[in-house]
Amino acid sequence: MDLGISGRHAILLASSRGLGRACAESLAREGVHLVLNGRNGDDVRRAGDEIAGRHGVETRVVVGDSSTAEVQEDLIAACPAPDIVLLNGGGPPPTAFARITAEQWTDTVNQILVGPLALLQRVLPGMCERGFGRVVAVSSAMVKSPNSMMSLSHGTRLGLTGVLKGVSRDVARHNVTINQLLPERFDTDRQEQMARVAMKLRGITYEEARAEQVASIRAGRLGRADEFGDAFAFLCSAQAGFISGQSISLDGGSFEGVF
């Protein structure tokens, strides 16, 4: 399917590795020009060179924490009129609720909630004026009941979900959509990290920790990053203009509810 977005321009936060990189690859395959972002300069520049070489699109890179005003200035300078924006970022480390400090709450709120919304405020007016915009946020899959170890991540991401839902209703008439993708256990560095945490806390082997991850998914496997990237690309397509304000779980059939 031709997604109808060749020649469009995208800003992709946290896109040098993992699911963000997969999103970049899927858009580049459709002919979208990219601004890539990440905190590790070597990773971001390597991703930009590889994607440009593989797909023949223009890639620019912005290194740094995308939740800060300085890096957001650089992102807008690299792409003043984005058609597509990916709101993505690494979550805070798993921390027991009783050990979370006030400073950690503040830092996480700024990183996951305030920062992405500040960027969104800057790009939405232009999208509405031009009559095309696709914003997708990567959030937490609430397939299982959250536990205290993930309070920092789940709490702030749910706050972002609520704000994005409200904003999506205001901009839909301008052919600007805002959606969320909720990944459940994709085979990325994050699941490696969670396996290491399980090993330390529960005294199990790496193989046991990974087997438990797989067993928690109805499909009997972890998700592939390219599957996530292609779902993202479709939400950015010309054909997806009637899908907005949605939180879509990519969970291998694990959610047990009807809605």
Give residues with Cβ within 8 angstroms of 38, minimum separation 6: 14, 15, 16, 17, 20, 44, 47, 63
Q: Please give the average per-residue pLDDT across 157-165, as a whole number.
A: 93
C-alpha 16/C-alpha 98 separation (Å) is: 33
9-185+224-250 CATH, one of 3.40.50.920, 3.40.50.300, 3.40.50.11610, 3.40.50.720? 3.40.50.720
Under 8 Å between Cβ of 36 and 51: yes
**Residue 167 pLDDT > 80:** yes
Q: Tens digits of per-residue pLDDT, 60-99?
A: 999 999 999 999 999 999 999 999 999 998 778 778 888 8
Give residues with Cβ within 8 angstroms of 131, minimum separation 6: 174, 175
Q: Please give the average per-residue pLDDT across 145-162, as a whole number.
A: 78
Q: Tens digits of per-residue pLDDT, 122-141?
A: 999 999 999 999 999 998 75
Residue of higher predicted confidence among 87 and 184 = 87
Domains of the chain, residue spans: 9-185+224-250, 187-222
Tokens found for residue 173: 């008439």
Element (H, E) at 62: strand 59-63
Q: Tens digits of per-residue pLDDT, 1-17?
A: 899 999 999 999 999 99
Under 8 Å between Cβ of 219 and 151: no
Q: Tens digits of per-residue pLDDT, 8-66?
A: 999 999 999 999 999 999 999 999 999 999 999 999 999 999 999 999 999 999 999 99
**Residue 143 pLDDT > 60:** no
With pLDDT > 90 as the criterion, what percentage of the chain qualifies?
Answer: 78
What is the chain's mean pLDDT, rounded?
A: 93
pTM beyond 0.85, yes or no: yes
Under 8 Å between Cβ of 174 and 128: yes
Half-sphere exposure of 139 (CA within 13 A, CB side): 29
The predicted pLDDT at position 145 comes to: 47
